[in-house]
Amino acid sequence: MKIFVTLRDIIGIVILVLFVVGGIIYTIIQEIKKIGKKNCYNCKYYKLYDVTSVGGYCRMQCTKHNRIDKTVDMNDNEHYEKCKEFKSEV
């Protein structure tokens, strides 16, 4: 029994491996960016500011720093910032 490996097979495998390695590197970079930061959605000062009429987007406000974050998806549950005044809701 002979197995033939063509150039097309090799290129396909290389591209697949590049996508997997790229995804792993992207995940590692995102986790490194979170170091030393707090999730604003867990802070008692982070509140809903307003919502759009269509599209499921909203703006959130940090009442402690009077900062309004630009339009975010309502399904988001992570927003990391460096903050010394972070107070957990729990």
Q: Residue 61: exposed, middle, or buried by beta-carbon count in 10 A (0-12, 13-18, 19+)?
A: middle
Q: 13-22, 26-35, 52-61: lowest mean pLDDT where?
A: 52-61
Does the structure show a pLDDT above 80 at 22? yes
More confident residue, 8 or 89: 8
Span 39-80, pLDDT tens digits: 888 999 999 888 887 777 888 899 998 899 887 788 888 888
More confident residue, 18 or 72: 18
CA distances for 6 relative to 3, 10, 11, 13, 73, angstroms: 10, 7, 9, 11, 45
More confident residue, 16 or 90: 16
